[in-house]
Amino acid sequence: MDIKTLCVHGNTRNDDRTGAVSFPIYQSATFAHPGVGESTGYDYTRVQNPTREHLEKIMAVLEGGTDALAFASGMAAIACLAELFCPGDHIIASDDLYGDSVRYFNSISVKNGLLFDFVDTSDMALIEKCLRPETKAVFIETPTNPMMQVTDIPKVSDLTRKNNILFIVDNTFLTPYFQRPLELGADITVHSGTKYLGGHNDTLAGFLVTNRDDISEKLRNIYKTVGTCLSPFDSWLIIRGVKTLAVRMERHQDTAMKLARWLCGHEKVKKVYYTGLPDHPGYAVSARQATGFGAMISFETADRETARRVLEGVKLIQYAESLGGVESLITYPVLQTHADIPAEQRAAKGIDETLLRLSVGLEAFEDLRDDLAAALEESK
């Protein structure tokens, strides 16, 4: 079935008992047993809940996985993922990851004995150079945040399979609508469902999806023990969000492409990072492994003052963290998402005081363009 249809229906029947077209919210912490040693399939909501299970089945089928686990946030998903590893295990990760993932690894995982190398994973030679006997996984985002580096998923998959290590892809930026890493050889995908999957800037959620039964079993065991599960009501909100994922992603992308081209021609903009522009270094790999480029744009303004005036000058676009919702948001990576990354590391990546990151929402292109134009103009 086409992914547009799967977004609406998943591959599961709706609630059989009532025929409800919108899957019900089973707001119950616990479930009665029909007899001694018997279960309805649901015992306690931390372990499983019908509403959350419905969402998990939709996510599994969208990503081409066999199991999906829904968490209270993207970071809760990453925290559970980190529990797959033991002290002494080494992980190679992209050097331009979501800032809080870096903080998680550096401040919590390292304390627990895990070892990391952060490299530009768009360069295969750099990944190979970091491999050692203790290496247990490669963790990437593609495209990355905010520099939009693109990593070749099938190539990394060849390498991780040859070395018998896990390959994990944070697929938040493109969603399964545009990119399905498990089908390209990854073992686990990670999502912040807070972003495009929910899509309305109103709910936190996270996912881990896998097509390996051994990993699913380990993750389920950690999941029910740690208890960072998604609530029934928030599960329902994400189910509702995913129904419109296909139409939203198409429109987000269409407007992002127009805005990226327009920004390229603006005198107060020095550089535009959008993977859908043919001169972007990751354009060819993106076009090969994904069916779309998404709607995240970063751009360098003429100077620090221009960047600051744009943040304060926009009226329609809101200066706020997060991305992937119907409302366009602009962020200042140097002060927000990447504030905890050491300054030298940030500078080496080009994340400086002139860089802005835009999550293109569903407003009309003309209104977003006029809003940015006015804010850039004010800074003359």
Ligand X SMILES: *Cc1c(COP(=O)(O)O)cnc(C)c1O
Task: Enumerate binding residues for ligand X (CB under 6 A).
Answer: 73-75, 98, 100-101, 141, 145, 170, 172, 192, 194-195, 204, 206
Nearer to ligand X, 192 or 289 (CB): 192
Of 100 and 367, CB closest to ligand X:
100
Dist CA 126 CA 76 (whole Å): 29
* Residue 295 beta carbon to ligand X: minimum distance, rounded to whole angstroms: 13
CB 48, min distance to ligand X, A: 21
Specify the DSSP class assigned to residue 272: E
Nearer to ligand X, 31 or 177 (CB): 177
Distance CA 311, CA 332 (A): 8
C-alpha closest to that of 188 among 149, 151, 144, 157: 157
CB-side exposure of 273: number of CA atoms within 13 Å? 23
Instruction: Classify 42 as helix, strand or coil.
Output: coil
H-assigned helices in the chain = 3-9, 50-63, 74-82, 99-103, 124-130, 153-162, 175-178, 213-226, 232-243, 245-264, 283-289, 304-313, 343-349, 365-378
Return the number of the residue (23 or 98) whose C-beta is nearest ligand X: 98
Annotated catalytic residues are: 46, 98, 170, 195
Specify whether the backbone of 301 is left (phi greater than 0), alpha (psi in -120 to 50) or beta: beta
Provide, rounded to whole angstroms, the least separation between the CB of residue 194 and ligand X. 4
The radius of gyration of the chain's CA atoms, rounded to the nearest angstrom, is 21
**SS3 at position 163:** coil
Residue nearest to ligand X (CB): 74
Question: In angstroms, what is the minimal distance from the CB of 100 to ligand X?
Answer: 6
Task: Quote the least distance from Cβ 196 to ligand X, whole Å.
Answer: 10
Burial class (CB in 10 A: 0-12, 13-18, 19+), 258: middle
Whether the bond between 146 and the residue before it is cis, its omega within 30 degrees of 0, is yes
Which lies closer to ligand X via its Cβ, residue 160 or residue 172? 172
